[in-house]
Amino acid sequence: MTAPPGSYYCAEYQGRTIYFCTEFCLDAFRADPERFYAAHSRRKTPAKP
């Protein structure tokens, strides 16, 4: 799932702004950002908007 820039739920991590669709997803990211960020950076194709 993707969230548009300007989304209410976002976090800064390693110099990037990361957007989330829900507060639940944001909280999960904040609890263990490296787990989520590492999975995202292994993607071979960008997420579709």
Residues in the chain, overall count: 49
Distance CA 34, CA 49 (A): 23
Query: pLDDT tens across 6-28, in order?
Result: 668 889 998 988 888 889 999 99
Provide the b/e sequence for 6-40 (b: ≥16 CB within 10 Å): eeebeeeeeeeebbbeeeebbeebeeeeeebeeee
pTM score, two decimals?
A: 0.63
Query: pLDDT tens across 35-44, in order?
Result: 887 776 666 6
The pLDDT value recorded for residue 21 is: 84
